[in-house]
Structure formats: structure tokens, C-alpha cells
Amino acid sequence: MEKYSRETLIELLKEAVSTVPTKLQYAIGGATALEEHGYKRYTQDVDVFVLSQHLNKFMKALSNAGLQVFTIQEPSHYAAKIPGDPEPERRIDVLVPYSEPELSAIQYAIVGKEGLRVFTGDFLAMVKFYAFDDSGDVRHGFDLAAMYRRGMFDADTVRDMIASI
């Protein structure tokens, strides 16, 4: 495995979360979660959502695994990268949600093939919908359309969840 790679980041993330208490609530979102559900999209980062009360323990675990941790924008966006990696976008983005649907997405996360907690398809679709709606970033819209075509979420469930928020 290449020293500076997304796969190395995922291995270091697995090492980090294995050292913290099991009650620590986090979940993988973004392209890494999409891959867990069968849709591969190229990206260099790994998005991890963590509850605010667990942020310090989580960041300490990433540091103990050998990653360089830093703040991007307090109080909701932090990151970790492999020291010396020349690619600034190849990092673990640690996101602290303060509202739905991300809070429920963390609570109802499932253990994926890599052994990490990941968003379920329904919550991943909701997060993508809100990210597209908030940012206008078409990548989220494309992801949502691709997920729908692949049957990765239940459209009725997601529609009902969106209506309830």
C-alpha cells in the first residue's frame, strides 16, 4: 500500500476507532459510504461525522494513530492527514453535525465491509439531498441520482424523512 493514499487513511482510521470506547458514535459518509453501498466515486478524502461530545476523543485517537490533526473551521470541521503528504485534499474530514439528518445518520449507522460505521443508504440519500440543497454542489445531485438508479435507498422512506424535518 502506498504511504500517501486514501487506502492508508482508511487503515489509520480503522486503527484509531479501534482504540476508543465502543460507545463513541461516529459514521462514515460521503464517497466512502457510497462505496460501501456499491457505488464507487473517485475522491481523495474520507468524510467522518462524529457527535460533538466525542470530538476530542476522536481527534486524539486519530493523532495517536500517527495522523496530523488540525482545525478547518470551528466548531464543525476538523481534519487529519498523513504527515508529509503533499496532497492537501487527501485527508480525513471530521464533521460535527448539529442538526438532522446527520445526527440520526450517526445514530442509525451500520457496520460496513471495512468494519467501520457507515451511513445507511436512506440516511446517505438524505444527507446528499440536503448537501445539494444547501450548497448547490452538483456532485451531490449526481450522487443522489446515481443512488436512486441503483436502488440504494427507498425513495418513499427518504421522501417521508425529508417531509418530517
CA-to-CA dists, residue 124 to 4, 27, 83, 88, angstroms: 27, 11, 30, 25
Cβ distance 149 to 42 under 8 Å? no
CA dist., res. 115 & res. 35, Å (int): 13
pLDDT tens digit string along 86-141?
A: 999 999 999 999 999 999 999 999 999 989 999 999 999 999 998 988 899 999 98
Q: Report the pLDDT value the prediction gives residue 110, as an integer from 0 to 100.
A: 95
The overall average pLDDT reported for the chain is: 93
% of residues, the chain, pLDDT over 90: 77
Q: Which three cell numbers stand for residue 51?
A: 457527535
Phi and psi angles of residue 115, each rounded to the nearest 5 degrees, phi first: 85, 5
Q: Read off the pTM.
A: 0.93
